[in-house]
Amino acid sequence: MARFEVTDEDYERAVRRGEEERASMPLPQAARYDAASGRIVIDFANGSSFMVPARSLQGLEDASDAELAEVEIQGETGLHWETLDADFTIKGLMAGIFGTARFMEAARRGGQSRPPAKVAASRENGRKGGRPRKAG
């Protein structure tokens, strides 16, 4: 295995780069579960907020409101639920990553399912003339 030497100059450059990157990022200040909307809300130091549907996240699908309310900010980059043993990066959530690739594929396929009730509703709407036309 190769051996790497890090000089004081390399270290100082890396620290400066990290500080510059941190200064350009909105830092999370609070995270909470909003039971009325069913969403996790993350508030940032710059006044912005981000919301994500809590039960769309892998491992939180069957969590109670009380369990979801135990959300904590982990460092400056993540969310953590101790009781549920669940962790997510804020960056990943903002990119729409709500779980593993397998979980995400299963969720995508679920929306494409054609259960009998969905098929019947589609046929009934077709008998009424289909989707309403856009005005304009």
Dist CA 71 CA 58 (whole Å) = 14
User: Which of the given ranges, 50-54, 101-105, 125-129, has the highest pLDDT on average?
Assistant: 50-54
- Which residue has 């809590």 as its token pair? 54
In the chain, % of residues over pLDDT 90: 52
**pLDDT by residue (tens digit) across 43-83?**
998 899 999 999 999 999 999 999 999 999 998 889 999 99
Classify residue 55 as left (phi > 0), alpha (psi -120 to 50) or beta: alpha
In what helix (H) or strand (E) does residue 34 lie, and over which residues does it extend? strand 28-34
Task: For the chain, give every domain's residue range.
Answer: 26-97, 100-128
Largest CA distance in the chain: 75
Query: Into which CATH architecture does domain 26-97 fall?
Result: 2-Layer Sandwich (3.30)
